Structure 1
Amino acid sequence: MITMSQKYQSLIQYMQEGKSIRKVARDIGIHRETVSKYVKEYEQKRKQLMEGGEDVEVDALIESLTEKPIYTTGSRPKRKLTPEIEQRILAFLEENREKRQKGQRKQQKTVMDMYEVLEDEEVDISYSTVRRLVRQLEHKAKEAFIKETYMPGDVCEFDWGDVRITVDGRLQTFQMAVFTSAYGNYRWACLFPKQTTECFQEAHARFFAHIGGVHTTLTYDNMRVAVRRLAGDKEPTEGLMQLMMYYGFHCRFCNIRRGNEKGHVERSVDVIRRKAFSNKDIFDSLEEANHYLETLCSEKLNQKPMSQYEGQTPKQRLEQEHEYLLEAPPKWDAARVQYARVDKYATLVIEQNRYSVPDHLVGEMIMVKVYAERIRCFYNEACIANHERLSGHHRWNLQLSHVLETLQKKPGALAGSLALHQADQKIKDIYKTYYTGKERDFIALCHYLRDEGDLDGVLTAIDQLAAMHPKHVTTDKIKAICDKNNEQPVTAASMSQDTEAITEQARTHMSDYDQLFQMKAPKEGVH
């Protein structure tokens, strides 16, 4: 390729230094016919410029004298890309279009797939040629965007994002619900086990309680928990309608595959996920992870001054919105109600996970309220079990107190039971240290803990007994010490109050006796 410098050198050496075209070509390293072409074009255009005349376009001549070397490579005939190959690639693109219409977007042919098909058909063409043609045929006009302005309290955007962190020693995937106000870019996020209706509703309830109000309009993409029907006019789901009726806001849905229509929250999902969990991704519980996430949003992300808001922070912008927000009613009870029958293991199956209930309810139908993070079980309108909701599938959440009646009949099953394995570590330590081989006595202690005692009191009693000798640690002695420790001490004030009450009662009785004796005393002179 001839550069501008080479063109200049060829003209200078020929016009001013008097070198021949052959000599110039040899010195510069370009073909002599190229030098000859530049010299002839230059002389012809310079002559026209010097002679002038009404028909001469001076500006065009000046520009042509100083223009860069031009190559007409586009007009060269394509040696490999024949019309037949072009039609074959057009057929591939049409096939991809039909698959998109059928919802088979993930099964389209890529450029590499097209090239490999042509290669199998022994077509002599390179991958770069195929790629260049596909880009040319699929060229689309770039989309223009409209800059919007927002009123305080008007719009808030919602979206989900995946987060993979370690909780309770297990690497798990959680769903992060993210809210972002359009007026001030205030961000709030919370983690949930799944993208279910109860989690969706609980996220809204927590956010509205957090900001102390409700935005007029909530914006969503086409998520299943929000949109019931995509074709024609989009309809919100029953769960979203319940929220709209309770809190009084309106909803707006984005067009399909147009995440930019809620660009605030699209960006927020990436920012929060990176800022929060690139530094810390191991937690003891989901509650700890959520506390960490909310603290990071409140104390770091929402306290950062933003140039587009003249140095104001998102928190300051939210405070400006408060007077325009709708009043928030009491927090929504975001629970899904369902019924399940207790199986032979004294458990209920909820979303392929098992939760224990008292074992005397085997075979009974139980009402279950499924919350975002908890499972509550009811029988005859009384709450009989309260569990942390499990993530994943085929997991068990058992409480030792629920199977005590069965263990009392089968004490040998205690040591290997999953209920004991999942019990509080302090309970397991008590069994391992003092009750191994004394299962019936330990089950009696668990009965006492469930019905009367408290774990701290039992631990205190065990420490007192073990200080004398480990063999003194028995359920009867523990109960005796706990009962003694729970007795209310008699204080001096209470003693004085009791004494005064007794004295007053005695005075009353004496007065009654005096009246009685006076009534029965004999009159004078009567014998």
Structure 2
Amino acid sequence: MVLDPHRWLELRRFRGLYESGAMSLREISKETGLNRRTVGKYLSTEAPLAPPRRTVNGKPRSRVADEVAPLIDAMLRSEILLKGAVIHERLVAEYGFTGNYQRVKMYLQEARPRVADELGISPGELAGLHRRFEVIPGAQVQVDWGDEGRVLAHVGIPRVYSFHMTLSYSRDPFCCFTTSQDLETFFDCHRRAFVHFGGVPMTAVYDRTKTVVRRHVAPGEAVPLHPEAVAFSGHYDFDIDVLAAYRPTGKGRVERQVLIVRDHVLAGRAFSSIEEMDAASTAWVPLRRAKIHGTHGEVIGHRAVRDHMALRPLPQSPYMVCDRHLRHVGKDCLVAFDANLYSVPARRVRPRQLVEIRATKSQVMLHSTAPDRHGQTLLATHPRAVGRGAVIKDEGHWDGLPRGDNRRVTTGDVPAQPRHREGLGDEARPLMALLNRASAARIEVGRRPLSVYDELTGTRPFTSKSTPENLSRAS
């Protein structure tokens, strides 16, 4: 009898109970509804642990990856630790493979141990191993964050972070401390590090932090970068190298530096400000450069000289990174951002208009999404508010809007005096008085009988009798 894989997985749960003697074959057979011999066959120590594969007409079912299995095995023989995403990418690009990544991944689960056994590598030796690499001077830096916790909680700073950048060739370090990991702070630390090294490397290695990667993607897909990260790297002329998820060994040089800084700079010391922590780090760097590194066997400072000389020059002006957001304009000409309100000129916006906010660490700039007739998009610039609930406004932005301090009321006891415009003659003033209800109500209107109008028009009322005398007069 060949078990369905789902039934096999259900039966496998009882293996531990059977081996420990907690349940017998009869009890497991009754629980699963399977024959006792079938249960004994698949729970015996001699039985294989892998589930049986489905068969069609007694023949093994073919897999999608079987057609490229020799190619995959050849790749594994050349590099046993080659990633499945790389293998799938090469199969698609070079051999026209149409299967998905999961098919290749499932095949690698049994192929990698088999090929490793052919090469004389035990499966246990593969765990924790990674490919070693070396770089030329000025070629690469590695970047990482460290969470230093509540080291300044006694002065009201809830959390402190350490920013690390390490030159891969010499292991020359840079470290500074911040209270935030936001976009502006992240790239401001880059500017400080480039000044510290005296130049810009060719490549920077990152993990998948949200200040570099816009969103996470499946293995094998292109990683979408944050627009500001692309703009910053383009301004300073270096390439961005993003590691695969959960692969800290790809930037082990900077990972090690995080631990070294904690041991040699922070351990056993008390600080009262970020500036004191930065000063302690700066004072430690010459000591670190005087050490002989255990891997390359040279003095870090001597090797760092070659590293610094190979760096690219700094640009003439620094790139100011902005955190960009889209917000709607309220009816009060205020735009909400980061729990604060900022004003925009009333004559250049309309309610519910979408505007772009470009925020730095010290300023908030509001831009329209389309340029005006002069080609300008900037609407307003304000200093960035500290805290929450602040209203940052320019009184000139509200010019032309109705004011609330010039409204008047009256009980009607005192008649309002009409205001005469300059340049109007006396004959026009009665007409202006008609615009005022109180004045119009007091105008005396002459009263005349209707017969007066009959006399003026030469007619008589219909109620009067017609006589030859009246008819002759009417004719």
* Range class of TM-score, shorter chain: 0.3 to 0.5
Which structure: greater helix fraction?
Answer: 1
What is the TM-score with the length of structure 1 in the denominator?
0.42
What is the TM-score with the length of structure 2 in the denominator?
0.46
